[in-house]
Amino acid sequence: MFFTYAADLPPGVGFALFSAPHLGALMAIALLCLVCACRFRAAQASARRHLTQALGLSIVLLDIVRTIVYHCMGCMNLYELPLHLCGMAVYLCAIHSLWKPDWLGQVLYALCLPGACAALLFPDWTIYPFFSFVSLHSFAAHGLIVLYIVVQTASGAIRPCLSAVWKPVLFLCAVVPPIAWFDSCFHANYMFLQLPSPGSPLVWLAQLAGGSRAGYLLLFAVVIFCVMVLMDAPFALAHRYRNSRSI
């Protein structure tokens, strides 16, 4: 069943949220991020540049492997495109490894990092056995996205800024409408704009909205904005504290 797609899996072979394998994967990713962030900060500038590019390339190569394997499994279709936030983050990380505009750093930190962490905490691939290609690839891919953003932030290549929160907001305004159109035309659920991911906190939003899709999307937007502000707030407070100490 290692290369079996969801439609062909027998019932009951998946893993549970926060089961031992799930928690083990989360702890391994957290430890890897901590160790790599410390080592990355201590590295020379040239070494950091090469490591950044290698990590960005690795994330893309892993996604190419996924595409090839899915094609061989006969399951590469309209519903496996990189139109989820984390799917886009694969290529945003690769672009950032070569070219570092501030807007891209803000999008990666305030939007893609919490998105990838949420995907790891509440994976939507629990229908698969933990030791399957889809499951292991999903943990690895999301883990690498988190790792990339963490080391870039730790090294100062990404500088979170609360006053720049409009940049990821503008990014969402640019990408959400066409993805919502794609979802409605092809009955997809990219970025969970149609339905919440089962087992995730998005289910609570849908319940709070009382079955109203407009209400669900409005609550979703409010939560996303609040998360982005909370992501940037510690850096804004630290900056204000340093300024007050220097007076």
pLDDT in tens, 4-45: 998 889 999 999 999 999 999 999 999 999 999 999 999 999
Percent of the chain at pLDDT exceeding 90: 89
Percent of the chain at pLDDT exceeding 70: 99
DSSP letter string, 86-133: HHHHHHHHHHHHH---HHHHHHIIIIIHHHHHHHHHS-S-TTS-SSSH
Answer for the pair 89, 144: CB distance below 8 angstroms, yes or no: no
Residue 247's pLDDT band (cuts 50, 70, 90): low
Quote the pTM value. Answer: 0.95
Measured CA to CA in angstroms, residue 233 lies from 116, 150, 186, 243, 244 at distances of: 19, 16, 38, 15, 16
pLDDT in tens, 116-167: 999 999 999 999 999 999 999 999 999 999 999 999 999 999 999 999 999 9
pLDDT surpassing 80 at residue 219: yes
pLDDT surpassing 70 at residue 246: no
Helix (H) or strand (E) holding 22, with range, is helix 20-42
Q: Alpha-carbon distance 41 to 33, whole Å?
A: 12
* pLDDT reported for residue 7: 84
CB atoms within 10 A of CB 98: 11
pLDDT surpassing 70 at residue 197: yes
Sequence ranges of the domains in the chain: 6-246
- AA identity, residue 150: V
